[in-house]
Chain A
Amino acid sequence: MNQEQFEEMAAAYCLGVLSDDERMTFERALAAASPQQRQAFEQMRLAARHLPASTELASPTPEARQRILNAIGAPSSAPQATFEVTDTSIEPVSKSRFNFDFTNSTQFFVKLKNYKKIKFDTKNNDAEKTAELDKTYKIESALVEKIYRKLRLDRPIVAVVLPGVLFFAALFFFLNKPT
């Protein structure tokens, strides 16, 4: 197989359109390929990997998620916000051994904040409304997470002292209230 024939098969292989026989033929050729042929193959494989991202992004309905989770027998839950992966402006939780992991309490705040949405989801099947709420949910969840971290509530010293200060301030104002 010369270079040109090899590249023609490599292109079809990377696009996943070879028949089983052709694929086996190509894989044999690849195993015995020259460095130049191998390089051409790697380049085409890399190019083909980008093709899925050329599609128009669309979202399935929220019901699809529920159906899939039901099908695998997973407990139903609200969709998770994707801020952890994408929002690089959020500082990571400190991994100091003197710190507690308050990540779960973040989730608690997020769930509390979105109680209305979760309640709506369980009662209704209005796809449009649910999708709208879902959008708001993700943005608001990211906001709650950001505020939580900005206030340093993931640090125990802040998490313990702040409520104490607020309590004593309230007590002080209560005791000094003019009668």
Chain B
Amino acid sequence: MLARNLMAQVLRNDPKAFAEIYDRFNRLVYSVILNIVRSPAESEEVLQEVFVTLWSKRKEYDFSKSSPVTWMITLARNRAIDKIRSSEYKGTMKSSSIEDAPTFSSAEMDGENPLENALLEEKQKMIRQALQTLPQDQQIIIRVAYFEGLSQSEIAGRYSIPLGTVKTRMRLAMKKLYDLLKEAV
């Protein structure tokens, strides 16, 4: 069943549809959170917040604005960024050198459904290849902006580079990423 159909059932207060949405998307949502928060235990807390919010605020979901997956990912990303910006996480962003910044690395997949993993793995591989084609400084800017929620001026401050350079790199990276992905995905 399509995610939109499942979401429609969730809007009709169907907990089984909610459980199915969880079963289908928990890994993707959890992975996004883990990538931002870095701690499995804290990531599970955020995951729980995200899915409980999805259920409690289901009436606020607007089909015309975004797909359910995009909604969940946006919710997860925002919650995870809030988490790392909260007081207990202050000071954990140790790196201020651009060479030490996290990059889009290739990863092993843990298998549950081999076919599902194969499809996901294929897509991930293409996206990672596209990202790795970008110059390293552009990769890092996208990485810290998307997964850490740093603004352009915060990136400039963290890596001690001019704000104008950050803006240019971000713009060029996004344009190049589109050019690479339109052929690959």
Contacts and interface: CB of A to CB of B under 8 A. Distances in A.
Interface in A21-63: 40, 43-44, 46-61
Contacts of A54: 104, 124, 127-128, 131
A69 B174 contact: no
Given A54-B124, A64-B48, A135-B112, A17 B31 contact: no
Contact of A47 (B27, B34, B177): B177
Interface residues of A, number: 56
A15 B170 contact: yes
A67 interface: yes
A17 to B, nearest CB: 5
Contact of A7 (B34, B73, B127, B175): B175
A87 interface: yes
B20 to A, nearest CB: 6
A55 B35 contact: yes
Given A18-B151, A40-B175, A64-B48, A86 B19 contact: no
Contacts of B30: 58-60, 64
Given A12-B151, A56-B31, 11 more contacts: A11-B167, A16-B77, A47-B178, A51-B146, A53-B28, A54-B127, A55-B31, A60-B27, A74-B16, A75-B15, A139-B114
Interface of B: 1, 15-16, 18-20, 22-24, 26-28, 30-32, 34-35, 40, 43-44, 47-48, 51-52, 55-56, 70, 73-74, 77-78, 104-105, 107-117, 119-120, 123-124, 127-128, 130-131, 142, 145-147, 149-152, 167-168, 170-171, 173-175, 177-178, 181-182, 185
